[in-house]
Amino acid sequence: MKYSFQRWLATAFAATFAALSTSVLAQSYPAKPIRLVVPYTPGAGTDTIARILAQKAGESLRQQVVIENRPGAGGTIGTEIVAKAPPDGYTLLFAPTSHAINPGIYPKLGYDTLKDFAPISVVASLPVVLAVEPSIPANSVKDLVALAKSKPGGLTMASSGNGTVFHLTGELFKDAAGINIVHVPFKGGAPAVTALLGGQVSMTFETSVTLLPHIRSGKLRALGVASAKRIALLLAHPKK
CA-to-CA dists, residue 203 to 67, 166, 169, 224, angstroms: 29, 11, 12, 12
Segment 141-169, tens digit of pLDDT: 999 999 999 999 999 999 988 888 999 99
Q: Which domains does the chain have, with CATH numbers?
A: 5-104 (3.40.190.150), 128-236 (3.40.190.10)
Residue 204's DSSP bridge partners are 131, 158
Query: Is omega for the bond preceding 30 within 30 degrees of 0, making it cis?
Result: yes
Mean pLDDT score, 207-220:
91
The vertex-176 CA angle with 172 and 182, nearest 5°, equals 60
As a whole number of angstroms, the distance between CA 113 and CA 129 comes to 28
pLDDT at 235: 60
Residue 128's DSSP bridge partners are 207
Residue 36's DSSP bridge partners are 67, 92
- C-alpha neighbours within 13 Å on the C-beta side of residue 130: 24
pTM of the model: 0.75
| pLDDT class of 238 with cuts at 50, 70, 90 | very low
| pLDDT class of 6 with cuts at 50, 70, 90 | very low
Residue 93's DSSP bridge partners are 37
| pLDDT class of 72 with cuts at 50, 70, 90 | confident
- The residue ranking higher by pLDDT, 148 or 230, is 148
| pLDDT class of 90 with cuts at 50, 70, 90 | very high
As a whole number of angstroms, the distance between CA 6 and CA 172 comes to 30
| pLDDT class of 240 with cuts at 50, 70, 90 | very low
| pLDDT class of 1 with cuts at 50, 70, 90 | very low
Mean pLDDT score, 30-43:
92
Chain-centre distance of CA 8, in angstroms? Answer: 18
Write phi, then psi, for 65 (nearest 5 degrees). -110, 110
